[in-house]
Amino acid sequence: MSFKKSDYYTLASKASDIVPGFQAAWQKFVEHATIHQKSKSLATNYGRNIAQVALHFGKVPHLISVGEIRTYLYHISTTEGKSEGYFKQTVYGLRYWYRVFGQDADALQLPPLKNKKSLPAVLSKQECRALFKAPHTLKHKFLLAFGYSSGLRMNELRLIKISDVDLDRLQIHVRMGKGMKDRYVPLSKIIAEKLPLYLREVHPRTYLFEGLTPGQPMGVRSIQYIVTEALAKTEISKNVSMHTLRHSYATHLLEDGVDIYSIQRLLGHTNIQTTIVYLHIAQVKPKLGHSPLDTLYGRL
């Protein structure tokens, strides 16, 4: 695994140019993530928040007192009104940063984060159809449908290469997903039928979904913009992101009769408890118990 400068948010580059010592510290941070085989998304996800802290104080985070950091966290969550997700990402990023620089005690002094048990939003099948129909371009329609059809995480979707899609075996090779694990997921027959047309009209070179630079994967913000733009053309009132399509994929599989352990494998979940949440969302009719002796002789 290797990190490229283009993978980071521009704030990291800005902090490297402005904040004394940030560039060298950032390089050490990236090297630590690489050596410990952390996912590529760790640097990209934490980079913006860490860089913002450095730019705010004008110095590298491990030289800022925990008291100042706490005041900063209070400021972004109240005065600036940053989202809960942004707040958590900042805390997680700072914790990892502190540990890279041997300041475990400071990491432990950061506020604890509680995991709320709220259920994720999912789209109905009718809402999915409306969302996929909304975009004007084939590229955007295909991206949304492909994301739902495979249940991929955002970064998994971005990094799918044309060569990862196997039309003969109707499967997609997901490489180095969360936890640095490969897996295979089924390729929709509908997607397989539309793929030749997509390739002819869109002309991607390497990645299935490329941005403005040929041969480079589409950015996270560009994908979310596609979701937001499509959503605005529908009557769907839910807060929808690409991850909502992943939740919808799992829920609809469960409603279609796929067992929870198979769904766990398809989603790439390490812990079955992460997958079980969909049992609370799916509209599955309970089945009455019966004796297997009756099915043995076909009497049910």
- Phi, psi (rounded to 5 degrees) for 187: -95, 125
Choice among 95, 153, 247, 252 that is catalytic? 153
Residue 243 is a catalytic residue: yes
Choice among 48, 246, 247, 252 that is catalytic? 246
Residue 246 is a catalytic residue: yes
- Phi, psi (rounded to 5 degrees) for 8: -90, 160
Among 124, 87, 132, 105, residue whose Cα is nearest residue 230:
132
- Phi, psi (rounded to 5 degrees) for 33: -65, -40
Choice among 59, 173, 178, 194 that is catalytic? 178
Choice among 9, 46, 148, 278 that is catalytic? 278
DSSP 291: -
Distance of CA 112 to the CA centre of its chain: 23
Residue 48 is a catalytic residue: no
DSSP assignments along 21-47, one per residue? THHHHHHHHHHHHHHTT--HHHHHHHH
Please tell me the total number of residues recorded for the chain in this structure.
Answer: 300
Find the distance separating the first CA and the last CA of the chain, reported in whole Å: 54
Catalytic residue positions?
A: 153, 178, 243, 246, 269, 278
